[in-house]
Amino acid sequence: MTMATATATPRDGAAKRGAVPDRRAYLRHSLLQQLAALRWGVLALIIVGWFVYYPIIDNFFVSTTTQDIFTGEVDNVGLDNYRRLLDDPVVWRALGNNGLYAVFSVIFQVFAAFVLAAIIEGLKNRTWRNFWRAVYFIPSAISTTVTGLLFYFIYQPDIGLLDAFLHLIGLQNLSYTWLGDERTAIYAIIAMSQWQGFGYSTLLFTIAIQKIPRELYDAATIDGAGAIRQLFAITFPLTREMTGMMIIVTIAGAFQVFNEVMVMTGGGPNNSSQVLGTWLYEQGFNQNDMGYAAAIGVVIFVATLITGLMQLWYTKRRRVQV
């Protein structure tokens, strides 16, 4: 924002100092200039306003209606969809599953990824450091549809890769219908997500660790601090901001999860692995209940709004400190 004031051109300065009678003309001119500069903003305003903001606002209105898709008749039902929401056990289960997703993702994609990044950055050879973080990142570059389908095959009972492996090491009695059982489906999906996602945050953490001045570690070594001591006394405190940001971003992602659940179970069996996104899809596009789907959308909106505000607050606070 400070930049805005610094853009005064020499011409503006001359106008301000110079002719007082022209002040009004100057102001008009400058207002025209400001309005003309809007041409740099209209493209983004139109496309983002029209296709992002408008539908999200419209979603609130849709959520107070029921629509008959065959007759196209729209009835205003006020808050009925929201009352239904409170009484819908699947909504609560979906919320719980999103919460589970958040908990596991924070453990694996923030804390485990941090430890892994610290180990990688502790390697002496630069080529190996780049090698490992590139390897771990690969699944994050691949579409969730591909990884979801791949794990759908891996989790197949008896014939899938996981059960084949269990047979191989003599643990065939652990063999299981991972995606077909209400108790394990959501955990199997979450496990796939961690497999896919931890490399992404590992990569971000390695970069945060690289920014720490080497002298701190050299000094600590001279003082006789071991590797673990250095991890807790230097690496962790100095990447705390990144860690905080990653926790918020990861939680935000956990409440928007959709693809992998859709591909692997579609929310089943018996709705046990539904998350908010897939329940919205099921209601809106399979049951054709657009009003109720929109109400579920509002729940997702609130979740993303909370995490978004947390992120904003965190960034602001950080700026003030620095």
Residues within window 68-97 making contact with another protein, judged by CB under 8 A: none
- With CB under 8 A as the contact rule, the residue among 91, 178, 179, 199 that binds another protein is 199
- With CB under 8 A as the contact rule, the residue among 14, 146, 171, 219 that binds another protein is 146
Q: How far apart are the first and last CA of the chain?
A: 17
Query: At closest approach, how far in Å is the CB of 177 from another protein?
Result: 15
Structural tokens at position 200? 């992404």
- With CB under 8 A as the contact rule, the residue among 172, 305, 313, 317 that binds another protein is 305
DSSP string, 15-63: HHHS-STTHHHHHHHHHHHHHHTTHHHHHHHHHHIIIIIHHHHHHHHHT
CA–CA dist 13, 113 (Å, integer): 54
Which is nearer to another protein, 14 or 48 (by Cβ)?
Answer: 48
Stretch that binds another protein, among 14-22, 95-103, 171-179, 194-202 (CB under 8 A): 194-202
Structural tokens at position 168? 């191989």
Query: At closest approach, how far in Å is the CB of 270 from another protein?
Result: 21
* Binding flag, residue 132, another protein (CB under 8 A): yes
Which is nearer to another protein, 136 or 185 (by Cβ)?
Answer: 136
Residues numbered 95 to 124 that lie near another protein (CB under 8 A) are 116, 119-120, 122
* Binding flag, residue 219, another protein (CB under 8 A): no
The 3-class SS string of 100-152 reads: HHHHHHHHHHHHHHHHHHHHHHHCCCHHHHHHHHHHHHHHHHCCHHHHHHHHH
DSSP string, 71-98: T--EEE-TTHHHHHHHH-HHHHHHHHHH
Residues numbered 259 to 288 that lie near another protein (CB under 8 A) are 259, 262-263, 276-277, 280-281, 284-285
Structural tokens at position 193? 């997500």
* Binding flag, residue 150, another protein (CB under 8 A): yes
Residues numbered 34 to 53 that lie near another protein (CB under 8 A) are 34-35, 37-41, 43-45, 47-53
* Binding flag, residue 174, another protein (CB under 8 A): no
* Binding flag, residue 226, another protein (CB under 8 A): yes
Question: How would you label 80-98 residue by residue, b for 16+ Cβ within 10 Å and e otherwise?
Answer: bbeebbeebebbebbbebb
Which is nearer to another protein, 3 or 183 (by Cβ)?
Answer: 3
CA–CA dist 149, 130 (Å, integer): 29
Query: At closest approach, how far in Å is the CB of 17 from another protein?
Result: 18
